Chains A and B, each alone.
Chain A
Amino acid sequence: METAEAAVPEQTLATGGEPPCARSAVTDNGRPVKIEPDLDFIRAVSVQGAESFKKCFQCGTCAATCPISPDVHPFPRKEMAWAGWGMKDRLLTDPDVWLCHQCNDCSTRCPRGGRPGEVLAAIRRESILHYAMPRFLARLMNQQKYIPLRLGIPAILLGLALLFRDRLGSAMGFATTVGEDIVYSYSPMFPHWLLNSFFGFFSLLAFVAVVVGLVRFWRAMTAGYAWWGEPKVKKGILASIVATFRKVITHDNFTKCRARNSRAVAHYLLFFGFVALTAVTLWVITGSVNPIIREEFVYPFSFWSPWKILANIGGIAVLAGCFLMLWERLTDQPNAGFSLFFDWAFLWTLFAVVLTGFATEALHYLRMVPHRHVAYFIHLVFVFSLLIYLPYSKFAHIFYRFAAMVFAERIGRESNGASSGQEVEPR
């Protein structure tokens, strides 16, 4: 979308000893850029709240107030200009977009009533849709009118798995149900060989899609970041990954937010709850082959089994985190940020996963048949929709944000905690 005017020699613009920020964010390594606005991209980003980039007069309050923005070419000021000029290539290859945690410190202080937090969120959404493979699936799944399809595909696939369970099981040599009566425990309803192979296969597909997306994204960042000069590698890839992990786990950047600090608590609960649930799941799946495990897993677990306790704590944490996020998004819109279907779909799916999970557990202890099997089926539908749409939903942020944070760390772009953010009274 942009072409460097090669005729202008660099020496005429770049004076010796200038600070890097003297080069404007709309130059290409110091040379002027011919801007060709991508109108489709502008339209795609102009969603609820994010269309406010039109109000931006480049005062820089947002970049100054942001506690986690780097000192050189800070976000979100330059992104506001790029969005207005439809500089799609810059925005989709910009790691800064992903450094933002949308605490909306900027949005609550913009003197023009602009909402940079929303603009960056909209660009992140466009990035996920742009790097997704296949792209049409991402477009399809993020439209409200296709909710029936979104849930119908998992329901049909799981239904088919149930239908062909016995035939498949005997063909593959797995013991399946016994007796002709109604199925009682979960184990014969979805035997573990079926659950593991079914979810394993589709998780693998989703994983391949994520890896393809990540490779595209990383290459784009590497190629696209030349505009402000040669990106200098300051840290090794391993050191960058370790530093990023540290930041993700401690929520250090997240807790610097002021306007909506409770987002950090909600995310912390959700994050660790999810890690706990994933840990139990992986431990149970690998239980029979894991050399560290010296006790056998016997199903179903006792309520007081340490694994069950961890899973329940994790579930409660995710439920609480989801509830906080949904509550804030529903009741405190200007501060919490406006939500698109993209945001709602991810949050409600996650909420539904945990809610149906607990419903299944409760109905199990109440021994309500067939309610608990129905609840279990619905639970699996939501789990499945969370997993297979991972590359196309907001869930993908765990990979894209991580990659961008590693990239930023690598070129010395991550803020080091010595914040440039000033305490400014909100408007």
Chain B
Amino acid sequence: MSIQEKVSSLFRDNNRVAVLVFVLVIIAPFGYSVVRPVFTQGSSTDEVFLDIPDEGECVRETAYMRYHHMDLLKEVREDVIRNGIRGEISVNGCRECHTYRGQFCNQCHEAVTLHVDCFGCHYYPESPEDSVRLESGGHDE
């Protein structure tokens, strides 16, 4: 009896069970989307989006930055590393308004499961505690 035949006869004898499994799989996210808000009252997915500082002006307009910030950063990286042109835009410059990457970068990137490469080299405090640590010279005590 080949594997194919085994699977076939298994399905033949248990087709109702197999169907039930798939029906449950399909229903699961529907149930989840209805049940979850009951347990997580008040929290909305809107929170994913970062706060935009009231004051100051970004290097590009907000709508552009929302979709193209990664292109801009790549361009700048190319200019600095390959062409030796250090312009006005830098990761440190971002920090002047967007103080912590926990709110500024991670929230969105975690929500969409996209890894951020920037902080393999650049330091960018994740939270206010991180920032205190930086000012005290990296000592915890």
Interface residues of A (CB under 8 A from B): 177-179, 181-185, 187-188, 249-252, 255, 261-262, 264-265, 268, 272, 275-276, 279-280, 283, 292-296, 298, 300-304, 306-307, 309-310, 313-314, 317, 365, 367
Contacts and interface: CB of A to CB of B under 8 A. Distances in A.
B64 interface: yes
A307 B29 contact: yes
B45 A179 contact: no
Interface in B1-33: 4-5, 7-9, 11-12, 15-16, 18-19, 22-23, 25-26, 28-30, 32-33
Nearest to B63: A178
A179 B11 contact: no
B71 interface: yes
B15 to A, nearest CB: 5
A424 B110 CA distance: 60
A73 B114 CA distance: 62
B129 interface: no
5 contacts: A251-B19, A272-B25, A283-B30, A295-B37, A310-B29
A304 B71 contact: no
A108 B91 CA distance: 71
Nearest to B43: A295
Contacts of A275: 22, 26
B7 A293 contact: no
Contact of A255 (B12, B33, B45, B112): B12
Given A272-B25, A302-B113, 12 more contacts: A178-B61, A178-B67, A179-B60, A179-B68, A181-B68, A255-B12, A275-B26, A276-B25, A303-B113, A306-B28, A306-B29, A365-B113
A309 B67 CA distance: 25
Interface of B: 4-5, 7-9, 11-12, 15-16, 18-19, 22-23, 25-26, 28-30, 32-34, 36-37, 44-46, 48, 60-61, 63-64, 66-68, 70-71, 110-114
Contact of B44 (A265, A296, A365): A296
Contacts, number: 112
A249 B19 contact: yes
Contacts of B45: 295-296, 298
Contact of B11 (A268, A276, A301, A309): A268
B28 A184 contact: no
B19 A178 contact: no
A310 B28 contact: yes
Contacts of B68: 178-179, 181, 184
Contacts of A265: 7-8, 11
Given A178-B67, A264-B12, A306 B26 contact: no
A131 to B, nearest CB: 30
B67 A185 contact: yes
A310 B26 contact: yes
A250 B19 contact: yes
Given A295-B33, A304-B113, A264 B11 contact: yes
Given A268-B19, A292-B34, A179 B26 contact: no
Contacts of A178: 61, 63-64, 66-68
Contact of A264 (B15, B28, B46, B112): B15
